[in-house]
Amino acid sequence: MTARTVRSADVPPQPWANGGGTTRELAVADDGAWRVSLADVDRDGPFSTFAGRLRVLTLVEGPVLDLTVDGEPHVVEPQRPFAFPGAATVVASVPEGPVRVLNVVVDPASVQPFVTVLELGRSSSLPLADDQAAYVLTGEQAGSLVVGPGEVAGRCTVAVVTLERD
Q: DSSP of 17-68, one letter per residue?
A: TTSSEEEEEEEE-TTSSEEEEEEEE-SSEEPPP-TT-EEEEEEEESS-EEEE
**Average pLDDT, integer, range 90-107:** 97
pLDDT tens for residues 11-35? Answer: 999 998 777 789 999 999 999 999 9
**Average pLDDT, integer, range 28-45:** 95
Phi-psi region of 18 (alpha: psi -120 to 50; beta: other; left: phi over 0): alpha
pLDDT tens for residues 57-83? Answer: 999 999 999 999 999 999 999 999 999
Assess whether pLDDT exceeds 80 at residue 39: yes
Q: How confident is the model at residue 166 (pLDDT cuts 50, 70, 90)?
A: confident
Q: Lowest-pLDDT range, 12-26, 42-56, 92-106?
A: 12-26
pLDDT number for residue 129: 96
Fold of 10-106: Jelly Rolls (2.60.120)
Assess whether pLDDT exceeds 60 at residue 1: no
Domain ranges of the chain: 10-106, 111-165
Nearest to 34 by CA among 108, 100, 92: 108
pLDDT number for residue 19: 76
pLDDT number for residue 2: 64
Phi then psi dihedrals of residue 8, to 5 deg: -60, -30
pLDDT tens for residues 100-154? Answer: 999 999 999 999 999 999 999 999 999 999 999 999 999 999 999 999 999 999 9
